[in-house]
Structure 1
């Protein structure tokens, strides 16, 4: 069995604002955003963070 890197989930009030902050201040890229589910992710290299 192979275990990859875990993907942390950080609960936020506003997914879009969190994504923009991580992009603008920390150098992440906005990976995806789901309007209906109000969930999204950012990534930086092999690191990804989900914002539910």
Structure 2
């Protein structure tokens, strides 16, 4: 695994974490950001799978 692959994976992991925070904020405070969180987590997971295959 090269440096570029590791960097992209870490960036996507950060996006996935931000998505998870949006989901938790929606559940805890009713912010209405669950749709954004689900989209972020889903796209981050797909990106990680595609980068590391």
TM-score, normalization by structure 1: 0.27
- Greater fraction helix: 2
RCO greater where, 1 or 2, for CA within 8 Å and sep 6 or more? 2
- Greater fraction strand: 1
- Which of these two proteins has the greater Rg computed from alpha carbons? 2
